[in-house]
């Protein structure tokens, strides 16, 4: 009876023969039915039901195959080259500024061949430069850049790379994996797991927090490799002050104010300027050249700029002469394991990493200090810093292109984003591992879904690292994919037109943000140029263009307080309110737990809000427009695409292989049944 009810509500997509039978059942009698014999039993419906179910849920046909393909239970077996040798694992453990990387790098420099795997482009660059300066030829490999130093273009025996880019088939004498605790990162952790299990080196040196020792030892137990732990102590003392800064009037040379939002950065630098002081500014979305220029300005003893305003982008990879770290706020927006946005106080690990920038061994300040801007925050900071760091329990994993390709072979009509969902649902992992958050991948997959591309190419486009909060970068991914599918190479001349080159120096903060977005688009071009050289043929010209743009942005940031002032006077920024907002956000840190719950609830209820008179204002499109995630042009384009799709919608509904959230739930019911 349940079946009959279920299908009577879904008659639009049941096939005709099943429809007739079900109508008969619904009529309450088994007798007056067209094609259903008088003496039939309800079980006779089953073959029809099964045929229909298989059409709607094609996974039913190949469940066992899918399970096998998505079996992620023994990752060490994915790396036969590494398993063929016996590696020695050395874990350099200790707090920040204790010489972990230094000691690992000494070993790397003295080896005949080596690979350094860093968490950031800036760190890979730093080691690349240091190694070559030490007279050891070293190449550089990042997602967007390859530099070979040997005159004949041959690969050097040493290479510095970002961890995602390391080769797991090249043999090395020594490998260094920096910041190994990032193995737990919900989105990027897979890259550290891959390097740890896959690097083909006689000695693998890991640098990082002690919290990762147990997990690494467990993982190496499965590969039969021994782990030697070397412990280090901080090289310079650091202390948490008993008083907060309270006012920017109390700033001293060597101070670094750490904010977790760009608005706070603007507001603080403006207030510093009002006090007649100069500040350097560093935040994540600045190009590397600009970050280095700002760091140099701050470090230069002859430069009057002695204050730094920065986000936690300084947490890794820059050598800065900081005496005192001042936390302007302790609340940082983050994305949790489920992909939801949260406003949480920073973790102990993050606080230690940032605080550890004060009194760096190599800088002129041999003692570090840490405090907060606001008195109410100081107790929480001390509490956070004193908490023990939880041991890391699991390492990230990521499906490979081959696995997704095999899924697509079994489910040919399923979209890439749905394939990922199905993969994650089917995948099996051991307790020491977790499947990384693939939201960014799925975001890109959905963005370019309607563009005809082969699965392999689509997969590569989706792995391109993009900032999905930047509308111009997202629309560029779309544009690049579209042109690729039309087989039209993306030339330098085309790119100049597309980015409206030449670009003018920024006149306000919005201009500056636009230029940062163009820089990201050029990064995207370069990233794709290493994967599709024929279609993105002008990498070296684009690199020159990017350097020029970095220079324009550098000049803009040099005068950032002027840009802020102009933006304020043109009401492009509302710093007074922003500032007040941050103040109130900060003032009740001790109530942070309650606020956190409230904030999470607000975010949740936003999604579930019932329609109201001002529903248009609260529509998803208007919200995305307001948040700058969507531009008017993108909205128009989406409207066009939706209209085209609407005509196909009826067909799509019955099309086999679609795997929306609703059908997924049904699939699970079927599975468990
Ligand atoms: N024995 C040493 N001789 C000379 N310089 C050293 C020595 N040990 C460390 N340093 C310098 O001290 C600074 C901090 O060292 P390092 O970067 O290795 O610390 P770390 O423990 O890796 O810190 P983090 O956790 O922040 O990465 C670096 O500039 C490094 O070059
Ligand atoms: Mg280090």
pLDDT tens digits for range 299-327: 999 999 999 999 999 988 788 999 999 99
Which pLDDT score, from 0 to 100, does residue 526 have? 98
Confidence class of residue 337 from pLDDT cuts 50, 70 and 90? low
Q: Determine the angle formed by the axes of helices 401-410 and 455-463, rounding to 10 degrees.
A: 140
Q: Take atom 31 of ligand 1 and give the residue whose Cα is closest.
A: 102
Q: How far apart are CA 165 and CA 149, in angstroms?
A: 18
Which pLDDT score, from 0 to 100, does residue 54 have? 78
- Residue 513 CB partners (closer than 8 Å, separation 6+): 285
User: Bridge partners of 174?
Assistant: 114, 203
Cα of 243 from ligand 2 centre, angstroms: 29
Determine whether the shortest distance from the Cβ of 277 to ligand 1 is under 6 A: no
Cα of 437 from ligand 2 centre, angstroms: 26
Residue 389, pLDDT above cutoff 80: yes
Q: How far apart are CA 433 and CA 327, in angstroms?
A: 34
Confidence class of residue 590 from pLDDT cuts 50, 70 and 90? very low
Cα of 563 from ligand 2 centre, angstroms: 35
Which pLDDT score, from 0 to 100, does residue 49 have? 87
- Residue 350 CB partners (closer than 8 Å, separation 6+): 312, 315, 332
Q: Take atom 28 of ligand 1 and give the residue whose Cα is closest.
A: 362
Which numbered atom of ligand 1 lies nearest the CA of 99?
18
Residue 9, pLDDT above cutoff 50: no
Using alpha carbons, select from 84, 136, 146, 85 the residue that is nearest to residue 112.
Answer: 136
Residue 29, pLDDT above cutoff 90: no
- Mean pLDDT over residues 358-367, rounded? 91
Cα of 118 from ligand 2 centre, angstroms: 9
CB 428 within 8 A of CB 70: yes
For a mutational test of ligand 1's pocket, the pick from 104, 312, 362, i.e. the residue with the most ligand atoms closer than 8 A to its C-beta, is 362
672 Cα distance to chain centroid? 34
Determine whether the shortest distance from the Cβ of 102 to ligand 1 is under 6 A: yes
Q: How far apart are CA 90 and CA 189, in angstroms?
A: 20
The distance between the two most distant Cα atoms of the chain, rounded to a whole number of Å, is 100
- Mean pLDDT over residues 347-369, rounded? 93
Q: Kindly give the pairing relationship between strand 238-240 and strand 368-372.
A: parallel
Which numbered atom of ligand 1 lies nearest the CA of 92?
21
- pTM (two decimals): 0.80
Q: Take atom 14 of ligand 1 and give the residue whose Cα is closest.
A: 97
Q: Take atom 25 of ligand 1 and give the residue whose Cα is closest.
A: 96
Residues by chain with Cβ below 5 Å of ion ligand 2: 101
Count other Cβ atoms within 10 Å, centred on residue 518.
23
For a mutational test of ligand 1's pocket, the pick from 94, 95, 102, 351, i.e. the residue with the most ligand atoms closer than 8 A to its C-beta, is 102
pLDDT in tens, 614-673: 444 445 665 555 545 556 666 666 666 666 655 455 444 433 333 333 333 333 323 222
Using alpha carbons, select from 455, 446, 440, 441 the residue that is nearest to residue 407.
Answer: 455
Cα of 96 from ligand 1 centre, angstroms: 8
CB 570 within 8 A of CB 508: yes
Q: Take atom 24 of ligand 1 and give the residue whose Cα is closest.
A: 96
Mean pLDDT of the chain: 84
Q: How far apart are CA 138 and CA 624, in angstroms?
A: 45
Using alpha carbons, select from 225, 205, 197 the residue that is nearest to residue 93.
Answer: 205
Count other Cβ atoms within 10 Å, centred on residue 427.
19
pLDDT in tens, 470-526: 999 999 999 999 999 999 999 999 999 999 999 999 999 999 999 999 999 999 999
For a mutational test of ligand 1's pocket, the pick from 93, 94, 96, 97, i.e. the residue with the most ligand atoms closer than 8 A to its C-beta, is 97
Q: How far apart are CA 521 and CA 504, in angstroms?
A: 17
CB 442 within 8 A of CB 400: no
Using alpha carbons, select from 582, 624, 598 the residue that is nearest to residue 270.
Answer: 582
Q: How far apart are CA 469 and CA 440, in angstroms?
A: 11
**Rg of the chain's alpha carbons, rounded to an integer?**
28
Q: Give phi and psi for 657, each to the nearest 5.
A: 100, -15
- Mean pLDDT over residues 599-610, rounded? 33
CB 331 within 8 A of CB 587: no
Least confident of 117-131, 333-347, 365-379, 615-629: 615-629
Query: Of the ligands numbered here, which is closest to the C-alpha atom of 320?
Result: 1
Confidence class of residue 21 from pLDDT cuts 50, 70 and 90? very low
Which runs of consecutive H residues, i.e. helices, occur in 29-145? 46-56, 63-69, 80-83, 100-110, 121-133
Which pLDDT score, from 0 to 100, does residue 94 have? 95
Which numbered atom of ligand 1 lies nearest the CA of 362?
29
> Both ends of the chain: CA-CA distance in Å?
17
pLDDT in tens, 93-104: 999 999 999 999
For a mutational test of ligand 1's pocket, the pick from 133, 181, 361, i.e. the residue with the most ligand atoms closer than 8 A to its C-beta, is 361
């Amino acid at each position: 009876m349940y079946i009959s009810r279920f299908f009577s509500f879904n008659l639009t997509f049941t096939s005709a023969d099943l429809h007739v039978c079900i109508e008969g059942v619904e009529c309450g009698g088994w007798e007056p039915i067209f094609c259903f014999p008088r003496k039939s039993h309800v079980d006779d419906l089953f073959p029809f039901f099964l045929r229909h179910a298989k059409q709607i849920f094609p996974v039913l046909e190949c469940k066992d195959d899918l399970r096998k393909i998505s079996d992620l239970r023994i990752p060490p077996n994915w790396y036969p080259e590494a398993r063929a040798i016996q590696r020695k694992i050395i874990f350099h453990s200790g707090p920040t500024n204790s010489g972990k990387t230094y000691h690992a790098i000494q070993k790397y420099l003295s080896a005949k061949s080596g690979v350094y795997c860093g968490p950031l482009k800036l760190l890979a660059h730093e080691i690349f430069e240091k190694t070559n300066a030490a007279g050891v030829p070293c190449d550089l490999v990042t997602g967007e850049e390859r530099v070979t130093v040997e005159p004949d273009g041959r690969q050097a025996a040493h290479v510095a790379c970002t961890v995602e880019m390391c080769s797991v088939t090249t043999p090395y004498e020594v490998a260094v994996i920096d910041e190994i605790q990032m193995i737990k990162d919900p989105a990027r952790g897979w890259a550290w797991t891959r390097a740890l299990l896959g690097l083909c080196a006689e000695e693998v040196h890991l640098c990082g927090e002690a919290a990762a020792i147990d997990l690494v030892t467990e993982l190496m137990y499965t590969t039969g490799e021994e782990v030697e732990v070397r412990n280090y102590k901080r090289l310079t003392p650091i202390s948490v002050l008993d008083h907060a800064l309270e006012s920017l009037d109390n700033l001293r040379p060597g101070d670094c104010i750490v904010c977790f939002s760009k608005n706070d950065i603007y507001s603080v630098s403006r207030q510093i300027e009002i006090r007649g002081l100069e500040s350097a500014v560093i935040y994540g979305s600045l190009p590397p050249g600009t970050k280095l220029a700002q760091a140099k300005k701050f470090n230069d003893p002859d430069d009057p700029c002695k204050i730094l305003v920065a986000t936690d982008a300084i947490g890794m990879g820059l050598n800065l002469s900081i005496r005192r770290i001042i936390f302007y706020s302790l609340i940082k927006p983050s994305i949790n394991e489920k992909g939801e946005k949260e406003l949480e106080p920073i973790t102990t690990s993050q606080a230690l990493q940032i605080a550890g920038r004060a009194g760096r061994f190599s800088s002129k300040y041999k003692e570090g200090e840490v405090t907060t801007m606001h008195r109410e925050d100081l107790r929480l900071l001390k509490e956070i810093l004193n908490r023990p760091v939880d041991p890391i329990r699991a390492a990230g994993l990521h499906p490979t292109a081959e696995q997704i390709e095999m899924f697509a072979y079994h489910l040919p009509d399923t979209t890439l984003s749905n394939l990922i969902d199905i993969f994650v649902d089917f995948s099996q992992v051991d307790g020491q591992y977790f499947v990384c958050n693939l939201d960014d991948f799925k975001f890109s997959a959905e963005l370019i879904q309607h563009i005809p591309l082969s699965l392999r190419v689509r997969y590569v486009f989706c792995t391109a690292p993009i900032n999905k909060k930047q509308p111009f970068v997202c629309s560029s991914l779309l544009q690049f994919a579209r042109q690729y599918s039309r087989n039209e190479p993306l030339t330098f001349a085309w790119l100049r037109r597309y980015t409206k080159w030449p670009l003018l120096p920024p006149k306000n903060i919005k201009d500056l943000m636009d230029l940062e977005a163009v820089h990201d688009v050029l990064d995207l071009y370069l990233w794709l140029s290493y994967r599709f050289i024929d279609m993105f043929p002008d990498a070296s010209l684009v690199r020159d263009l990017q350097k020029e743009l970095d220079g324009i942005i550098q000049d803009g940031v040099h005068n950032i307080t002027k840009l802020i002032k102009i933006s304020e006077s043109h009401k492009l920024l509302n710093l007074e309110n922003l500032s007040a907002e941050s103040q109130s956000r900060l003032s009740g840190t001790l109530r942070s737990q309650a606020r956190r719950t409230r904030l999470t609830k607000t975010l949740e209820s936003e999604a579930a809000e019932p329609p109201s008179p001002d529903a248009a204002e609260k529509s998803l499109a208007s919200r995305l427009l307001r948040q700058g995630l969507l531009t008017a042009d993108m909205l128009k384009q989406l409207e066009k695409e939706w209209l085209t799709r609407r005509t196909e919608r009826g067909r799509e509904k019955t099309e086999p292989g679609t795997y929306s959230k609703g059908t997924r739930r049904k699939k699970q019911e079927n599975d468990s049944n």
